[in-house]
Amino acid sequence: MEKKQLSILFVDDDKFLLDMYSVKFSNNGFDVHTLQNSEDALKLLRDGSEPDIILLDVVMPGMNGIDLLSTIRTEKLAKNSVIIMLTNQGLTDDVAKAKQLDVDGYIIKATTIPSEVLAEVQKIYSSVNKQ
């Protein structure tokens, strides 16, 4: 049986990082969609999009990633998506808030190179889906 191509949604206001991760994940067989703000991400999810994996930055203009995660959980959007925070915010408060909102993983960008992010995302996805 052929492995299904996983879809991934990146939400980050840093276009350079979006482009870099987009290439990294696309080259590794992912179907990548990127958005630069939480509002666009919410619209996409409210319209019924359900990517396999959602990566959220914490610090973004307008609605931050923690608030976006909270809204996704409250509105029961993307119920089957694995949601991972990919951020430079390693503050205990942010991690605790994300965990309270049942985030599946938390990766600190500053200390992780793209290939490690890819490996970590795959590991988190597999552990959640017990593949």
Q: List pLDDT tens digits, range 32-81.
A: 999 999 999 999 999 999 999 999 999 999 999 999 999 999 999 999 99
Contact yes or no for 42/78 (Cβ under 8 A): no
In this prediction, residue 83 has a pLDDT band, given cuts at 50, 70 and 90, of very high
Torsion of CA 96, 62, 86, 31, to 10 degrees: 130
Domain ranges of the chain: 7-129
Band of pLDDT at residue 4, cut at 50, 70 and 90: confident
pTM score, whole prediction: 0.93
User: pLDDT confidence of 121, banded at 50, 70, 90?
Assistant: very high
In CATH terms, 7-129 corresponds, of 3.40.50.2300, 3.40.50.720, 3.30.530.20, 3.30.70.20, to 3.40.50.2300
Reduce the DSSP state of residue 122 to 3 states and report it: helix
